[in-house]
Amino acid sequence: MLNKYARAFFTRVLTPFAAFLIRRGVSPDTVTLLGTAGVVAGALVFFPRGEFFWGTIVITLFVFSDLVDGNMARQLGRTSRWGAFLDSTLDRVADGAIFGGFALWYAGNGDNDVLCAVSIFCLASGQVVSYTKARGESIGLPVAVNGLVERAERLVISLVAAGLAGFHNFGVPGIQILLPIALWIVAVGSLVTLVQRVVTVRRESAEAEAAAGRETAGHGSEAGQ
């Protein structure tokens, strides 16, 4: 849902900014690289120190590059396999940095081994969820399923909760509980999404093999005639 509606809204909003960058001679790949670097820096500099509010602000500013670079490529008429590959690959790097930053906090001053493990699970499951779709598509299957918690949902849930939890440092009591709740939601949602995609790939694979078998049988009967 977020991919469908929020992405369309922000794409319209960011179109003038994308056009401005094009006039300045900035390439889409440069925006992709700088955006990822900003997200990684925001996550790994601020989150391990428990500065969730400022870390979220920095990450949010840079995470919009994911929409800007694609917008620029479309305006330039230069969408390419390389651009799609680079963007998808660096998305995984950014996601890893965000949940890695949470894990470092709970392994250090956050002092909670369970939440450290949950953060690592969110990191790993997010990567595997993305892999299942990419791998299914690479063997010719559509992987036609909208998962419960995809990348947009993972980012929004975790970053909104982290930003609000950061108000604890400004004297708001009890609000830091939002981040653990969000991590558990993302962990469970990612697991459900992974199961949804695996089940879908299994069904689509069986259907494709059955269709291929019927086609082979049909050719065999034609040859016999």
Asked if 91 is an active-site residue, the reply is yes
Alpha-carbon torsion, ordered 37, 149, 54, 88, to 10 deg: 10
Q: Which of 91, 95, 111, 113 is the catalytic position? A: 91
Dihedral sign computed on CA atoms, order 156, 178, 195, 136 = positive
Two tokens, residue 157: 């849930």
Give the Cα separation of 43 and 6 in Å (integer). Answer: 23
- Measure the CA–CA gap between 135 and 193, rounded to whole angstroms: 15
User: What are the contacts of 117-124 at 24+ separation with CB within 8 A?
Assistant: 118/180, 118/183, 118/184, 118/187, 119/183, 121/187, 121/190, 122/154, 122/158, 122/183, 122/186, 122/187, 122/190, 123/95, 123/96, 123/99
Which residue reads 């940095």 in tokens? 97
Name which of 219, 222, 223, 200 is nearest 211 in CA terms: 219
Q: Kindly list the catalytic residues.
A: 91
